[in-house]
């Protein structure tokens, strides 16, 4: 606003003309019924004119502060709408918006029919972020002059960011009033896209294309709009017409292949895919885009995985130093449960692009899924050397160490992860488990209490804390309350069912304990601990045979459990 434009430089002249010619309110009745002196009939009027002249000179020099002083002196001699108008603009140039608005409103009040005054006021409202007030002025301008195209544009733009539906209404009425307009249709297309109304966005783009049918870039944009609207037939027709005009443009074949893939017309897509992969003229980026489309089809139709794999294997062979084909092949392996494919390719990503934390994490997750915690730890130890401050690397490394029984190492890794993200509930919970294994119960309880403050309804934390307290035989009633909340949240979780059953066992309510732990076993994924718990319950219910049966099943899953072996030998807890 501080840099003068040619439009703004003319404004002082308009103010001068109003004073000299008597336009605006000079010489006309005021709203209160009084009559100002007609111009040219007093010394005050002559002085006002001179002040306006002086002010306009300062204004043209960019000395807005001195211009304001002159206009203020002019107003003391003659209350003229044009002078208020000039004063308002100068206040705006100095970013004194409240004063600019006050003067602008006075100008409009004195000469409501003067649309430049209203435009000025609307612009200042907009600069002051008083959007509703600015919109009100533009609406009044349109009401007084429906042909004021600039006001229609400005009103719609006022609404565009916060009130898109109102903006679309204005644009629609604009088109009805003035006919097709490129810029309006473009804005409507963008708004419809943001609102997810893709068919209407395509309709707006189609009108633009009708205005300029030879614009190939616009035709491609229109095709993309149809694709977003899932109207594949018109999109495909556009690409085919463009391809006929330029058969060397293989990117068009990539787009057509993408459409066929979306429609699961794999046979029609194949020749386009082959042509693209064989073309030396196409960049890797274009080929990767096609590959991404192929990859996206796997989740919709798993039978397409071999085709997607073929695409990325060819890209990998042609671009052995680019990490992206390896990445997608690793992901394909993960989706198809081909661990060898995933491991080999994700490992290659870590060699080429070690900065890619996702590759390290996904690689380690394969070993985690297979309970191969040694290899999981080795991968993440390598990752930590490259990405020492990556939260997930430190967190999952702590998890791996914990599963390996390396509790001190786990505590160090998890504490590091916690320093990176101190409010992450998962790392706090895992660290509490580690400290429990280390018999550092004060730290365990402190961490669980913190986790409950951060996530009081988290079922896993409620379960784990309740089980921890029950194992130590303390706060059993509180532990039971937490376990009930966990089971209520996830009634089919076998671990949660075992926990509440075990707390009832600790409380001496063996019937309740049997019911919950039997239900946990019935889920089909019972661990050795759960089976051992059920055996303990049966022993307390004086059913030694069933106790021994469950203890032996537990031992089959945990062959090195010496304490369990002793139970079986002595047939007693």
Report, in angstroms and rounded to the nearest whole number, the Rg of the chain calculated over CA atoms: 38
pLDDT for residue 297: 83
**How many structural domains does the chain have?**
2
In a domain, 273, yes or no: no
Q: Is residue 434 part of a domain?
A: yes
Query: Given 399, 427, 454, which residue is the final one in a domain?
Result: 454
Please identify, among 102, 129, 156, the residue that sits at the C-terminal boundary of a domain: 129
Alpha helices for 61-130 (secondary structure H):
64-77, 81-93, 97-110, 115-127
Can you say whether residue 96 is alpha, beta or left, with left for phi > 0 and alpha for psi between -120 and 50 degrees?
beta
Rounded to an integer, what distance in angstroms lies between the CA atom of residue 383 and that of residue 398? 13
Q: Which of 179, 227, 169, 175 is nearest to 201 (CA)?
A: 227
**Boundary of a domain, candidates 422, 454, 486:** 454
Helix pair 216-228, 182-194: axis angle to 10 deg: 30
Residue 31: DSSP 8-state: T
**Cα 283 to Cα 239, 245, 278, 286, distances in angstroms:** 19, 21, 11, 5
Separation CA 327–CA 349 (nearest Å):
6
Tell me which residue of 78, 65, 72, 88 sits closest to 11, measured CA to CA: 88
| Rounded distance between C-alpha atoms, residue 120 and residue 128, angstroms | 12
Structural domain includes residue 171: no
Q: Which two tokens stand for residue 374?
A: 């040694």
What are the φ/ψ torsions at residue 566 (nearest 5 degrees)? -65, -40
Residue 16 lies in a domain: yes
**In whole angstroms, what is the distance from residue 414 CA to residue 402 CA?**
10
Pick from 225, 156, 153: nearest CA to 189: 225
**Whole-number pLDDT of residue 41:** 55
- Distance, in Å, from the CA atom of 51 to the CA atom of 43, rounded to the nearest integer, reads 12
pLDDT at 272: 86
Q: What's the sign of the alpha-carbon dihedral 308, 312, 315, 317?
A: negative
Contacts by 543-550 with C-beta closer than 8 Å and gap 24+? 544/571, 547/571
Q: How far apart are CA 204 and CA 294, in angstroms?
A: 30
Containing 317, the helix (H) or strand (E) segment is helix 305-318
CATH number at residue 434: 1.25.40.10
How would you class 218 by CB atoms within 10 Å of its CB: exposed for 0-12, middle for 13-18, buried for 19 or more? middle
Residue the block writes with tokens 């916690």: 418
Q: Tell me which H or E stretch contains 382.
A: helix 373-386
Close Cβ partners of 376 (under 8 Å, ≥ 6 residues apart): 364, 367, 368, 396, 400
d(CA 438, CA 406) in angstroms, rounded, equals: 10
Give SS3 for 432.
Answer: helix
Residue with tokens 């999952």: 396
Dihedral of CA atoms 314, 317, 322, 326 in degrees, nearest 10, equals: 70
Per-residue pLDDT tens digits of the chain, which is 573 residues long: 333 333 333 444 444 544 443 444 334 444 444 444 444 458 889 999 999 999 999 999 999 999 999 999 999 999 999 999 999 999 999 999 999 999 999 999 999 999 999 999 999 999 999 999 999 999 999 999 999 999 999 999 989 888 999 999 999 999 999 999 999 999 999 999 999 999 999 999 999 999 999 999 999 999 999 999 999 999 999 999 999 999 888 888 888 988 988 888 888 888 888 888 888 877 898 889 888 888 988 888 888 898 889 999 999 999 999 999 999 999 999 999 999 999 999 999 999 999 999 999 999 999 999 999 999 999 999 999 999 999 999 999 999 999 999 999 999 999 999 999 999 999 999 999 999 999 999 999 999 999 999 999 999 999 999 999 999 999 999 999 999 999 999 999 999 999 999 999 999 999 999 999 999 999 888 899 999 999 999 999 999 999 999 999 999 999 999 999 999 999 999
What SS3 state is found at 146? coil
In whole angstroms, what is the distance from residue 7 CA to residue 313 CA?
Answer: 62
> Is 410 domain-assigned?
yes
Is 292 inside any structural domain? no
**The token pair that represents 570 in the structure block:** 């002595």
Q: Compute CA distances 233 → 156, 240, 275, whole Å.
A: 33, 11, 22
Q: How many whole angstroms separate alpha carbon 247 and alpha carbon 89?
A: 58
Quote the distance between the C-alpha of residue 236 and its chain's center: 30
CB count, 10 Å around CB of 87? 26
- Domain assignment of residue 337, yes or no: no
Q: Where are the alpha helices (DSSP H) in 212-280?
A: 216-228, 232-245, 250-262, 266-278
Instruction: Find the angle CA(407)-CA(412)-CA(415) to the nearest 5 degrees.
Output: 115
* Domain housing 414: 354-454
Of 28, 76, 24, residue with least CA distance to 52: 76
- 375 Cβ contact partners less than 8 Å away, ≥ 6 residues apart: 367
Helix, strand, coil share of the chain (percent; to 5): 75, 0, 25
Helix (H) or strand (E) holding 203: helix 198-211
| CA gap 357, 420 in Å, rounded | 15
């Amino acid at each position: 606003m501080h840099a003068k434009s040619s439009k703004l430089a003319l404004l002082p002249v308009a103010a001068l003309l109003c004073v000299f010619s008597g336009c605006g309110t000079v010489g006309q009745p005021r709203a209160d019924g009084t009559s100002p002196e007609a111009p040219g009939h007093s010394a005050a009027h002559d002085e006002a004119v001179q002040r306006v002249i002086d002010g306009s000179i300062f204004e043209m020099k960019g000395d807005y502060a001195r211009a304001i002083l002159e206009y203020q002196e002019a107003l003391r001699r003659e209350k003229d709408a044009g002078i208020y108008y000039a004063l308002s603009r100068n206040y705006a140039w100095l970013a004194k918006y409240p004063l600019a608005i006050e003067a602008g409103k006075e100008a409009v009040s004195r000469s409501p029919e003067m649309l430049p005054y209203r435009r000025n006021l609307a612009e200042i409202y907009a600069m002051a972020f008083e959007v509703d007030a600015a919109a009100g002025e533009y609406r009044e301008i349109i009401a007084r002059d429906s042909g004021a195209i600039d006001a229609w544009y400005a009103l719609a733009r006022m609404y565009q960011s916060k009130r898109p539906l109102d903006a679309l209404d204005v644009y629609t009425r604009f088109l009805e009033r003035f006919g097709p307009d490129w810029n309006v249709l473009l804005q409507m297309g963008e708004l419809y896209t943001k609102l997810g109304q893709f068919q209407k966005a395509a309709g707006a783009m189609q009108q633009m294309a009708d205005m300029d049918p030879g614009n190939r870039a616009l035709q491609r944009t229109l095709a993309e709009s149809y694709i977003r609207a899932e109207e594949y037939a018109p999109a495909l027709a556009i690409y085919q017409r463009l391809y006929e005009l330029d058969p060397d443009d293989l990117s068009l074949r990539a787009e057509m292949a993408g459409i066929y893939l979306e429609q699961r017309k794999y046979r029609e897509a194949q020749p386009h895919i082959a042509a693209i992969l064989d073309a030396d003229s196409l960049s890797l980026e274009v080929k990767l885009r096609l590959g991404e489309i192929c990859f996206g089809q796997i989740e919709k139709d798993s039978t397409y995985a071999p085709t997607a794999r073929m695409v990325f294997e060819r890209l990998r062979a042609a671009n052995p130093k680019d990490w992206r084909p390896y990445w997608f092949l690793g992901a394909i392996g993960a989706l198809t449960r081909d661990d060898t494919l995933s491991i080999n390719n994700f490992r290659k990503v870590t060699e080429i692009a070690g900065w890619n934390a996702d590759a390290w994490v996904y690689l380690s997750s394969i070993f985690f899924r297979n309970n191969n915690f040694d290899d999981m730890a080795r991968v993440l130890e390598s990752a930590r050397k490259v990405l020492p401050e990556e939260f997930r690397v430190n967190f999952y490394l702590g998890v791996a160490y914990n599963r390996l029984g390396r509790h001190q190492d786990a505590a160090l890794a998890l504490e590091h992860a916690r320093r990176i993200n101190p409010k992450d509930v998962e790392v706090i919970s895992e660290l509490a488990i580690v400290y429990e294994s280390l018999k550092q119960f004060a730290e365990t309880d402190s961490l669980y209490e913190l986790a409950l403050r951060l996530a009081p309804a988290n079922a896993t934390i409620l379960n784990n804390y309740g089980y921890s307290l029950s194992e130590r035989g303390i706060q059993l009633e509180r532990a039971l309350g937490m376990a009930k909340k966990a089971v209520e949240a996830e009634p089919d979780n076998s671990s949660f069912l075992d926990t509440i059953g075990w707390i009832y066992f600790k409380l001496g309510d063996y019937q309740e304990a049997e019911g919950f732990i039997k239900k946990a076993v019935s889920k089909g994924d019972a661990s050795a601990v759960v089976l051992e718990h059920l055996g303990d319950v049966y022993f307390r219910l004086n059913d030694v045979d069933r106790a021994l049966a469950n203890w032996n099943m537990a031992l089959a899953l945990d062959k090195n459990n010496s304490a369990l072996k002793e139970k079986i030998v002595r047939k007693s807890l």
